[in-house]
A and B are shown apart, each in its own frame.
Chain A
């Protein structure tokens, strides 16, 4: 069975159905998995539109897009890793380190070179994560958790614990300029999502991500170089985190060694809420985009309703618990 058939395109027809699939819940659960969050998102938008007359203003919608941009890029990478049944908890620390390195490099070599340095740093971090997980057989949770500590320390060390300032205006303007009314960070993150979609849909390596996550043993027996696929997944994840770091650094106009602290939770929340299975092998870029929109609109709407950040943290955490419970209880059995 191809990864595609196993994951995105369940076989239709009564002959292909198992007894479980013939039950109501068997038919309902896959539908809920794909349509549940978009419906919840529409309900959320309606709720906030009714509760706040500011919610649907152009300025606020632009804010939502701008504020979702970095999370979208990071979540896209997180999804790729989760597709291989992995997890990257170091994305936040990656964002911090890339922010510092990009700022330092921009100050020394210019904007373009700085951005390239940042992306290269991200890729290098991902390769190290991938090597730890494949060659040294460290659990992804432990490997990336430990890497988070290493990267945070490195970011603080390089920056001396203070923000790297003095960035040229052409860099910081990237975050506040618009093309056709659309903020540039949003265009960048949408580009990342589109590239990820094309990669996963049309490139063989992209299909291998699903195959490795869906059934690793079958992938090995099929002759796939699973280690190479996983290392690539982590490299792509950290590269996406680097894009997020550059967006955030431009927004705050400095290299911040403490940037991105909430991104590990938020990115996992966006991915899982979108319906990407933590068991690997299931999910699409569209689902992640919806998940990111849900998390961002939830945060924005709660802000407009003047709900404190601590309550917001509880709401995001509780929503994640509900999504993971759904994933563990039902989706994994479908």
Chain B
């Protein structure tokens, strides 16, 4: 056999071996969220998925099925570790509940990124935190009530960490102003429930000038109540998260101030941070804050939506 034939045979064998060997599976990233529905989480998942794809990762998303299912979310993080993910993106229902499982992740050398808020035990975070959102909402209340006035609040679910934090920081931020809180009601994050409660509030407190909705579920409910009451423009509505319905209500003149979160960007940056942690690269900052965008009817047309929500289908 000539050397040329041998070389050819060897090359073919190597080519066959390479062709027969299984393609290398992409590394996995895990994401654990309290929910997978609503404008916030769908946008966050979109940002994470898109960025993970660009960086060559498979993203495994587990959602606990509700803010009340903290124990399920702890289990989800354990399940992600069992799946041997390279890093975990964690948006916790309640950050105080993850100390034990985060210690296990650390012991397994699995980096964890706080995807939505900074909290103890993580290797980094991308936020705005809920407290910062509450403060931004307070700035909105001050803008809507420059001379003070009555405000009623739909503060979101009782025992919902995000809602409690937003409301706590909102109140701290408006302390010392002439804004008077006349009512605060907890409710499930449901537009229909928000509508009922806001309707009752408007009957009980006809002098209310601003309704606070902790997010765009109860915020939409509040705006619908104002709309049904024929009070658009007279009773202002303030909320967080710019979903499609929120935008429509703002165009209709029944939503007045929205603290828009750049949720897609939060998702993307969380993945970028996880990628750097996996590759043991230096982080520019451990706790990255993505600024919120104040949206009013005046600037609605000029806001860049690409970082706020997924592209329309």
Contacts and interface: CB of A to CB of B under 8 A. Distances in A.
B275 to A, nearest CB: 20
Contacts, number: 107
B48 to A, nearest CB: 14
A60 interface: yes
Nearest to A252: B97
Interface in B155-200: 158-161, 164, 186
Interface string B21-47: 000000000000000110000000000
Interface string B239-251: 0000000000000
A139 interface: no
A70 B74 CA distance: 13
B159 A253 contact: no
B65 A251 contact: no
Contacts of A258: 67-68, 70, 158-160
Instruction: Output the residue of B60, B72, B81, B103 with the most chain A CB within 10 A.
Output: B72
A172 B83 CA distance: 24
Given A248-B71, A251-B74, A256 B159 contact: yes
B62 A309 contact: yes
B71 A159 contact: no
A210 B62 CA distance: 41
Contact of B76 (A156, A165, A248, A303): A303
B308 to A, nearest CB: 23
B32 to A, nearest CB: 10
B94 A309 contact: no
A312 interface: yes
A36 interface: no
Contacts of A308: 36, 61, 63
B71 A313 contact: no
Given A156-B159, A172-B99, A253-B99, A303 B84 contact: no
B75 interface: yes
Contacts of B79: 60, 63, 300, 303-304
B78 A63 contact: yes
Interface string B80-94: 011110000000001
A259 interface: yes
B142 interface: no
Contact of B96 (A60, A63, A67, A254): A254
Interface in B4-26: none
A159 B94 contact: no
A54 B78 contact: no
Contact of B100 (A54, A70, A175): A175
A59 B96 contact: no
Listed from nearest, the 5 A-B pairs whose CB atoms lie closest are: A309-B65, A252-B97, A258-B68, A60-B82, A261-B68
16 contacts: A54-B82, A63-B75, A66-B75, A161-B158, A163-B96, A163-B97, A165-B96, A172-B100, A251-B100, A253-B100, A254-B94, A256-B94, A259-B68, A306-B61, A310-B37, A310-B65
Given A306-B62, A309-B65, 13 more contacts: A163-B97, A165-B96, A172-B100, A251-B74, A252-B96, A253-B97, A256-B70, A261-B66, A261-B69, A262-B69, A304-B79, A308-B36, A309-B36
